[in-house]
């Protein structure tokens, strides 16, 4: 029986081309739905990445450096970006490597890799101290940490959806805890302006977080 060869149309490719021509017009871009815009990275993802880093490395300075390195590495390997993941996912993947590298580096320093257990070496500890060393089956702390991280991510991505100015005011006020007066001075707005923006941001966030968290 003769083999019939079908010419399979590249549906995905065709679609992406259409999307391209529709959305970007005459812009020069060879990415499909996702493309990199490094000039927006800091505003859009710095806080998100920073929170990711700081939940794994509790040192704010190191976390900040890792975020910076992530951006630089992203810029360097931008041509390897295939466009099949969202920009943010791609950056998180780089940051993940950076965090692992950080721990690897600090572990390889001599002496640091030793595991020191002082507690069980204490000969004068009396009573049922062994019991304190096993996991408490009723503890919720580990679970809480996980959930809080998830919550943090949810809030960050909701903030990212806000209009830039509202997001800025909300982060300054809520997350950085800057006083109303200072924000007004820095952004050159009046307090009632600020409260209206906060109001809109909070209302939008309530709606955004509504389904899962309220």
Partner 1 sequence: MISCEKAEIICNKSQYQEASFTERLQLKFHLFICKNCCKYSEKNSKLTSLCDKAKLQGLSSKEKEQMKQKLHSKG
Asked if residue 46 binds partner 1 (CB under 8 A), the reply is yes
How is residue 155 written in tokens?
A: 């809030």
Asked if residue 157 binds partner 1 (CB under 8 A), the reply is no
Give the integer Cα–Cα distance in Å for 107 and 101.
10
Asked if residue 141 binds partner 1 (CB under 8 A), the reply is no
Q: Which of residues 188-207 bind partner 1 (CB under 8 A)?
A: 195-196, 198-199, 202, 205-206
Give the integer Cα–Cα distance in Å for 134 and 120.
12
Contact 119, 133 (CB under 8 A): yes
Closer CB to partner 1, 132 or 144, in the complex: 144
Give the integer Cα–Cα distance in Å for 80 and 94.
12
Smallest CA-to-CA distance from 83 within 132, 31, 27, 46 is with 31
**Least distance to partner 1, CB of residue 27, Å:** 19
Q: How remote is the C-alpha of 18 from its chain's centroid?
A: 31
Q: How many residues bind partner 1 (CB under 8 A)?
A: 40
Interface residues with partner 1 (CB under 8 A) are 38, 41-43, 46-47, 50-51, 54, 60, 64, 67-68, 71-72, 75, 148, 151-152, 155-156, 168, 171-176, 180, 186, 195-196, 198-199, 202, 205-206, 209, 213-214
């Amino acid at each position: 029986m003769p083999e019939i060869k079908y010419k399979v149309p590249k549906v995905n490719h065709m679609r992406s081309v259409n999307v391209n021509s529709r959305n970007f017009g005459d812009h020069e871009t060879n990415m499909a739905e996702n493309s990199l815009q490094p000039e927006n990275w800091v505003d859009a993802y710095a806080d998100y990445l920073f929170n990711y880093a700081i939940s794994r490395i509790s040192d704010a300075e190191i976390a900040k450096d890792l975020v910076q390195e992530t951006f630089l590495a992203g810029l360097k390997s931008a041509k390897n970006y295939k466009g099949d993941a969202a920009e943010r996912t791609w950056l998180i993947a780089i940051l993940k490597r950076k965090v692992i590298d950080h721990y690897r580096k600090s572990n390889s320093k001599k002496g640091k890799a030793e595991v020191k257990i002082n507690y069980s070496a204490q000969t004068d500890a009396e009573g049922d101290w062994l019991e304190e060393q096993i996991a408490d089956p009723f503890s919720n702390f580990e679970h809480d940490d996980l959930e809080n991280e998830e919550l943090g991510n949810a809030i960050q991505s909701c903030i990212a959806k806000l209009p830039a100015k509202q997001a800025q005011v909300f982060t300054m006020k809520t997350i950085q805890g800057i006083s109303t007066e200072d924000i007004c001075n820095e952004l050159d707005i009046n307090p009632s302006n600020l409260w209206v923006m906060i109001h809109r941001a909070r209302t939008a966030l309530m709606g955004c977080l509504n389904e899962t968290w309220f």
